[in-house]
Amino acid sequence: MLKITFMGAGSTVFARNVLGDVMLCDALRDCEIALYDIDSVRLDESRRILSTLNENINGGRAVLKPYLGAENRKEALRGAAFVVNAIQVGGYEPCTVTDFEIPKKYGLRQTIADTLGIGGIMRALRTIPVMEDFARDMEEVCPDALLMNYTNPMAMLTGYISRYTGVRIVGLCHSVQVCSQTLLTELGMEDRLEGRKEVIAGINHMGWLLSIRDKDGNDLYPEIRRRAREKNAGVKHADMVRLDYIDKLGYYCTESSEHNAEYNPFYIKSRYPELIERFNIPLDEYPRRCVNQIKDWKETSEKLLSDPHLTHTRSTEYASHIMEAIQTGKPYRIGGNVLNTGRLIEDFPQQACVEVPCLVDGAGIHPTYIGSLPPVLAAMNMTNINTQLLAIEAAHTRKKEDILRAVMLEPHTAAELSIDDMAKMVDELIEAHGPYMAMYQ
């Protein structure tokens, strides 16, 4: 029987989407689903909700088995063909709060802090040791499995596992799927959505919409650029940073403006506080989201648990489509995060983790060769890749001096702090994270 393992199954809503998709797919629905988490309450909630879903949409054909705690992790993974990773190490409290509050003492402000910046680096350094443990178990008990990683920071985690373990891995992010639809919709160009053709490539959260044409082959960028300038000159809105990218760099990128506000030295600057208002940047946005999600979860979970008629419509998440393509051989196209092996993007080193179109079929995942990017886009990506590669190096060596080097090359941090303050901040963060980062000396 086909086995699918979901790591971090306490992420109930996301697990419901991915595994609900599996239950709706003819090639996958007769499977064993292993649910793994370290939180017994959340794991049981997910098991109960997914069991109801399995009965309602799948006739109970999938076999669900929960596995709690690290001592049961290897059994959860044993014999799996596919592994989905959606863990968050350290949670909102204490780790996310620490990642925001300590840098704030040094005058370093953040919005999301899950991909780059000091927060992204810290998140990578505490998550990689856990994922490496997963990978070592996979090498032993399911060496041929495909690991589909949804956890951030995507490029650092996927890059590390690709380089330092024998596990097959692809990183998957929602932002690729919604990129051009979001852009055309917010610019009032919905009539160009159907049949559009696009190419997106770069790195995770800063992948570039390199080309976009309508169903008749007309280049949409001239009109996009005109409307983007006009929209940013008008009433404030939620996507001002990315539309400013179009104005200054010529192209739109995949992830939201609140994310991209902190991936560069341009928008969050203590000497220019007016930029925060001008570009409508929501500082401390991720902690606010976490607080609201935690507050709303009890009501949401009770609603899901008490609904005997719970159902599901197949989502746009890539995971089930990848599994289906590999199982059936029917090709499917994704935007995937993979190593830049063979210079898929000529401008970047082979060790970089890039986000490029990939074809999936019965033989696995086949990344697309892109060639060179427009120089300014490659340069923007490289400022992030530098930090990613140095953070991966620090995770490998476990040396504090390598962590500092990653922080020194991080664009936003370098624009705001002295090296001495960076070093003090790193020491304070490592101490505050306690056992989550005790391996770094």
Residues catalogued as catalytic: 174
Q: What is the gyration radius of the CA atoms in the chain, in angstroms?
A: 22
> Do the Cβ atoms of 79 and 142 come closer than 8 Å?
yes
Q: CA 254, CA 246: separation in Å to the nearest integer? A: 12
Q: CA 256, CA 348: separation in Å to the nearest integer? A: 23
Query: What are the angstrom distances between the C-alpha of 227 and each of 197, 198, 221, 243, 438?
Result: 20, 19, 10, 9, 50
> Do the Cβ atoms of 436 and 89 come closer than 8 Å?
yes
> Do the Cβ atoms of 42 and 66 come closer than 8 Å?
no
CB count in 10 Å sphere of residue 408: 17
> Do the Cβ atoms of 321 and 332 come closer than 8 Å?
yes
Strand partners, 262: none
Query: What are the angstrom distances between the C-alpha of 111 and each of 215, 259, 286, 430, 431?
Result: 37, 7, 6, 21, 23
For residue 424, what are the contacts with CB-CB under 8 A and spacing of at least 6? 106
Q: What is the DSSP string of 191-214?
A: GG-TT-EEEEEEETTEEEEEEEE-
> Do the Cβ atoms of 431 and 136 come closer than 8 Å?
no
- Per the rule left: phi > 0, alpha: psi between -120 and 50, beta: everything else, 280 is left
Q: CA 110, CA 231: separation in Å to the nearest integer? A: 25
Q: Dihedrals φ, ψ of 308, to 5°?
A: -75, -15
Residue 390, token pair as written in the block: 């140095």
Identity of residue 53: L
